[in-house]
């Protein structure tokens, strides 16, 4: 690659692109993109957001998706540092918020260990924005006083033990990256006698192609399969799901939630 910025100091800005809707990216994130010398972006960053990258600025996909990882995290870390010394200002563009299951801290730690100064631009997390897209508040007086945000699996691929702990609480539980383990996850809630608790599963939240199903702990796995819901999807468990609006592309299990 041609060295475009031999006179520029290396630096990294970790930027959250938001939950998907290009209008939900922050002004500060846009300014960071406009000042980029090179961009490394994830798979969930929409084409409309990528179009905000100035013409002539190199942009490389380093996205990781279930079953089709293009780069290991260690390789991404190395690329960030390599490009910082080659180009100058690296913008690492990640879906949602880079500090909510985005491994942003790992990238910052590695860059700083190699002498690359860093900055962070937070993004709107899908854990909050996607429920809101169906008018589901993650907390609501009289329904939920707290919120759990849980990733479905550990780094070894095992089901997270925090799901069983969350199932014991009265909190709203938002589960990210869990669609493939939906039946197992709901079993944890059923074990706590919560078969009738409302659940929503939302695919492509905040985007025009958003699809959702709303049911209960006991019914949602079958409903999601029948509706063809796929990844990426956010799972919301809790009484607050009763606020869900029957928007377009939403299937509501009215009988099971009565």
Cross-strand pairs, 216: 198
Q: How many whole angstroms separate alpha carbon 200 and alpha carbon 183?
A: 14
Q: How many whole angstroms separate alpha carbon 234 and alpha carbon 230?
A: 10
246 and 257 Cβ atoms separated by less than 8 Å: no
What tokens appear for 106 in the block? 């790992």
- Using DSSP's 3-state secondary structure scheme, residue 165 falls into helix
Cross-strand pairs, 201: 213, 235
Question: What values do phi and psi take at 51, rounded to 5?
Answer: -70, -10
**Cis geometry, peptide bond prior to residue 217 (ω within 30 degrees of 0):** no
Q: Residue 76 burial (CB < 10 Å; 0-12/13-18/19+)?
A: buried
Where in the sequence numbering do the catalytic residues fall? 42, 64, 177
Alpha-carbon distance values, 136 to 59, 76, 152 (Å): 35, 35, 21
Q: How many whole angstroms separate alpha carbon 129 and alpha carbon 133?
A: 6
């Amino acid at each position: 690659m041609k060295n475009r910025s031999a006179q520029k100091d290396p630096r990294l800005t970790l930027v959250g692109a938001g939950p998907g809707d290009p209008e939900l990216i922050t002004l500060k994130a846009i300014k960071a993109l406009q000042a980029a010398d090179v961009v490394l972006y994830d798979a969930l960053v929409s084409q409309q957001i990528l179009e905000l990258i100035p013409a002539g600025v190199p942009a490389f996909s380093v996205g990781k998706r279930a079953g089709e990882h293009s780069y290991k995290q260690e390789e991404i870390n190395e690329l960030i540092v390599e490009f910082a010394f080659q180009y100058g200002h690296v913008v690492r563009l990640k879906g949602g918020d880079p500090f909510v299951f985005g491994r942003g801290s790992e990238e910052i730690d590695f860059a700083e260990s190699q002498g690359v100064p860093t900055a962070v631009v937070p993004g709107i997390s899908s854990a909050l924005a996607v429920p809101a897209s169906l008018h589901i508040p993650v907390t609501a007086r009289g329904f939920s006083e707290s919120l759990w945000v849980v990733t479905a699996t550990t780094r070894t691929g095992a089901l997270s033990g925090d799901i069983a702990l969350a199932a014991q609480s009265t909190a709203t539980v938002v589960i990210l990256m869990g669609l493939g383990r939906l039946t197992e996850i709901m079993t944890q809630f059923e074990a706590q006698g919560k078969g009738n608790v409302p659940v929503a599963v939302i695919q492509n939240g905040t985007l025009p192609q958003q699809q959702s199903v709303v049911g209960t702990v006991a019914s949602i796995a079958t409903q999601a399969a029948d509706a063809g819901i796929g990844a990426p999807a956010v799972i919301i468990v809790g009484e607050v799901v009763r606020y869900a609006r029957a928007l377009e592309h939403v299937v509501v299990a009215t009988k099971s939630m009565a």
